[in-house]
Amino acid sequence: MKDAHGRQVTGRVRWRRFAVLSVPGFAVTAALAIALANGALAASFAVSGQQFKVSATSLKGDGFAQYGSIDTNARGDLLPVAVTAIKKAELHNLCQSVVTHLPVVGDISLKLSAGGGGKPVEAKDLFVDATQLSGNAAFNNIEIGRDASTLDKGPDSAQGLQDLFAQQADDVSITDLKQTAWATNAATFKLTGLSMNVSKGKKECF
């Protein structure tokens, strides 16, 4: 490129403009890094590249909280989730499934079931990082629109980032539960009547 006098000029970066445009992106990245370091985001581990499905005929939980958050995978991708946290939960007829596609072999399904025969699955400090949830729900003393950083009815660590939307209740009851999730973790998880099956093809909970 030549200037007005015909002299050759090398390319220049307009650093002031570059800085102005870059600051928002850097700020978001820094905020997320700080949140991850402080444990404010969802799962404390890198999630896999596959979501799984969970269903139950009924769930009863004491100490319910729900808020938006972010999971990360091994590549560092940010995955938005709705975290459902429950201090103590019982689930009847639990089903969990995930389908993996393998070259040549095709689809392989892993399906787990537990909590049948009147003996529920029991969990304490249960966290589910979901992207979809459906069912028929009833709450007692629910608070909708509470700041996620001030939640106090769920497990002790069940809090999100300041200014984000959240809700909580003394207890929750859900029938015909169906959800799709990136991660689940719990302080304790008792699977009564556990059965696991691996088979070819797509065999999911719903």
- What is the average pLDDT across 149-165? 95
Length of the chain as a residue count:
206
**pLDDT averaged over every residue in the chain:** 87
Q: Which residue has the higher pLDDT, 37 or 159?
A: 159
Residues 6 or more apart in contact with residue 56 via CB below 8 angstroms: 91, 92, 93, 94, 95, 115, 121, 174, 177
pLDDT at 11 over 60: no
> What pLDDT band is residue 42 in, cutting at 50, 70 and 90?
confident
pLDDT at 13 over 70: no
Q: What is the pLDDT of residue 33?
A: 53
> What pLDDT band is residue 44 in, cutting at 50, 70 and 90?
confident
The DSSP result for 32-57, as a single string, is HHHHHHTT-SS-SS-B-S--EEEEEE
Q: Flag the least confident range among 2-11, 69-78, 92-101.
A: 2-11
pLDDT at 30 over 60: no
Q: What is the pLDDT of residues 88-137, one digit of tens each?
A: 999 999 999 999 999 999 999 999 999 999 999 999 999 999 999 999 99
Cα within 13 Å of Cα(125), Cβ side: 9
- What is the average pLDDT across 186-196? 97
Residue 154: name the closest of 92, 96, 86 by CA.
Answer: 86
